[in-house]
Structure 1
Amino acid sequence: MQYELKTQVIETQRHTFDHIAAIFGDRPATRYQEGSVDIQPKENFHYAPMWAPQAQLYGDDFSAFVLSDPNAFLDPRQYYYAPYVANRAEAYDSFKTSLDYIEDRDLLGRLPQDWKDVVSEVVIPMRHYESGAQLILTAAARFSNGSALAQCLSYAGFDRTGNAQVISRIGIALGGGTADQLATAKTTWLEDDALQPLREHMEKTICVDDWGVGLVTLYVLDEMLYDLLYVHLEDKAVTGGAPAYSLAMQHLAGWLAEQRTWIEKLFATWREDPQTGEKNTELLASTVEEALAKAEIALRPVAEKIDRLLDAGAGEALDAKAEQLRAAHVVPTTA
């Protein structure tokens, strides 16, 4: 008896979950889509928010920035838990490799004194700035509408804890393996006159009720502060006899470049919304303008202190970045 082997194709009856098919069509979905999109509860809550009886637990009531379709925004990085964790583990390993190289050769201890002063008196205290940013982003994740957006905000909040740890590790390396620099940095953050406007601005931003306004305000502050400390000064360090500064800070600059991709995608989604785009565009421009004014007041003393310590053109760099942000988000473009 002879047997003939045949291939039988069994058609898939369900390509993905119904709620995903309703958005993207009945076709195979990515893991990011299935694990991130439209999974925020919409009804059948255990109870309404007693502290905000006029609002829904997940809705548009907590920000003036509104998307007519909360699922319109998707993370351009396609991060869900697994790739996010893998990427951040790889990034930290890269930082650790750089830091091990710096520590083995005591490169931070051998920095010129003016650069060492900038690190200890300006950069290390920013671990507390990162903690404030974490609170802002966590609150935004809590009150935002749209699971893909809430996911981005949550991961960004986790990142700020990681950034604070990166800065802390640099401080410990500068202190020769002790935590003395961290204790000094806390006192500097609380008492140094040059940092008090920034600290005040951060604490007021933490208390902003509108999560969208808080996010935009933090975005502007991040862009200006990171550009000053981790881009402008990093470039100066390459030619200024402080390569250890460049080696250590490149990781924070790289983080902001990646962070910028999803935030600016969110801004574009706000602007392009078919129902609320015009209102969002006007609100974004006015919010960025106000945030720029406050950021310039908060960061001017920081730039002046850097220039007193190092004479690095920090004030000019701050002005240039402010104009760049204003041109990108405030000044209307013409066809």
Structure 2
Amino acid sequence: MQIELRTQVIEPQRKTFTHISDRYGDRPSTRYEEGTIDLQSTVNYHYKPLWAPDKDIYSPDFSELKLADPYSFMDPRQYYYAPYVTARADLHEAFGSTLGYLEKRGLFERLPEAWGGVLQNVVLPLRHYEAAAQMISAYAGRYGWGTSITQCASYASFDRIGNAQILSRTGISYGGGTAEPLALAKTAWLEDDAWQPMRKHVEQMMVEQDWGKSLVALDVTDRIIYQLLFVHLDDAAITSGAGSYSLVAQHLSSWFADQRKWLDALYKAWVADPEHGAANAATIAAVVDTTIATVREAMAPVAAAADSLIDAGTTDALSAAADQARAAYVTLGAVKEN
């Protein structure tokens, strides 16, 4: 008896979920779209909390920065849980390999004494900055409006803990397996005069009630700090026999390049919004200019501390980083050119 096998194709009655087809029509959708579009709570579990009786528990009014359609912004990286976790696992695996190489070759022990001082006194205290950045990003993830925005902020909050762990692991490795450098870095963050202006700035960002403003202020601060410590000092390290610092810095600068992708897209969506664009641009410009001035002043003693250890022109680089940050926002259309 001969049996003939045939393939039968059954066309699905619909190609995607209702919340996607309502917006885009019945077409195949990506996993990112399925887990992002129109998932913001607007009806269920919606009420006016006692701590904010003038707003719903989920509300676009928790920030002055608004989008008429929150899904006019989409993450260019198309991150949902699976690709995000995969990407960050690869990042930290790569850092682990770098750290293993540094330890195997004893490169932290060969780090010039002055550069050891930079790592201990200028870089490692930033693990506390990253911890604060995690809280600011998580706040935006909670109070932001639109899943496309809140999931980016939430992933960024996970990233900041990862950055703090990178710095912590670097400190432990630099200390020969002990946590003494981390204890010294904590003391510096809490007590050293050079760090107190920056610590004050960070705490003020943490208590800002407008999640959009705090997110912009954090981004401005990031632009200056990452350019100064993980680009400028990276370049100086390469030419000063401090290759171990450069190998660590590359991982943080690479992360920041990825962070820029969604933030820059969000700025463009904010300023291009047909209903709120002008007001958004005015709010962003005010935060950018105020924060640049604050960070320039707050980081000045830290840059001076670096200059007292190494001849890298860190103070001049701070001014250049601040100017470069403002120019970036001008390019994005968020700030007017002087």
TM-score by length of 2: 0.95
Partner of 1:74: 74
The 3 A distance-change label for structure 1 pair 2 and 38 is: same
- Match of 1:64, SS state, is coil
Is structure 2 residue 262 aligned with structure 1 residue 262?
A: yes
Q: Distance in 2 between matches of 1:24 and 1:318?
A: 46
Q: 2:241 corresponds to which letter in structure 1? A: G
Is structure 2 residue 14 aligned with structure 1 residue 14?
A: yes
Partner of 2:227: 227
Deviation at 1:11, TM superposition (A): 2.5
CA contact (8 A) 1:307 1:315 kept: yes
Partner of 1:57: 57
- Match of 2:61, SS state, is coil
Q: Distance in 2 between matches of 1:283 and 1:272?
A: 14
Is structure 2 residue 117 aligned with structure 1 residue 117?
A: yes
Deviation at 1:232, TM superposition (A): 0.6
Q: 1:287 corresponds to which letter in structure 2? A: V
CA contact (8 A) 2:20 2:37 kept: yes
* Residues 70-219 of structure 1 mapped to structure 2, 5 A cutoff: 70-219=70-219
Of residues 37-46 and 325-334 in structure 1, the stretch that sits farther from structure 2 once superposed is 325-334
CA contact (8 A) 1:284 1:329 kept: no
Q: 1:284 corresponds to which letter in structure 2? A: I
Per-residue CA distance 1:24-70 (angstroms, 9 max, x = gap): 22101000110122212111326422210111222211100010011
Per-residue CA distance 1:64-118 (angstroms, 9 max, x = gap): 0010011111111011011111111110000000000001111112111110000
Q: 1:324 corresponds to which letter in structure 2? A: Q
Q: Distance in 2 between matches of 1:22 and 1:281?
A: 31
- Gapped regions of structure 2 (runs ≥ 5): none
Deviation at 1:242, TM superposition (A): 0.7
For these two proteins, the number of residue pairs brought into alignment is 334
- Match of 1:37, SS state, is coil
Partner of 1:332: 336
Q: Distance in 1 between matches of 2:199 and 2:24?
A: 44
Per-residue CA distance 1:196-215 (angstroms, 9 max, x = gap): 11111001110001000000
Per-residue CA distance 1:164-200 (angstroms, 9 max, x = gap): 0100000001100011111111111111111111111
**How large is the RMSD of aligned CA atoms in angstroms?**
1.7
CA contact (8 A) 1:124 1:168 kept: yes
Q: 1:128 corresponds to which letter in structure 2? A: H
Percent of aligned positions that are identical = 52
Q: Distance in 2 between matches of 1:279 and 1:22?
A: 30
The 3 A distance-change label for structure 1 pair 208 and 7 is: same
CA contact (8 A) 1:133 1:157 kept: yes
Deviation at 1:240, TM superposition (A): 1.0
- Match of 2:62, SS state, is coil
Q: 1:186 corresponds to which letter in structure 2? A: K
Q: 1:266 corresponds to which letter in structure 2? A: L
CA contact (8 A) 2:46 2:58 kept: no
Deviation at 1:298, TM superposition (A): 1.2
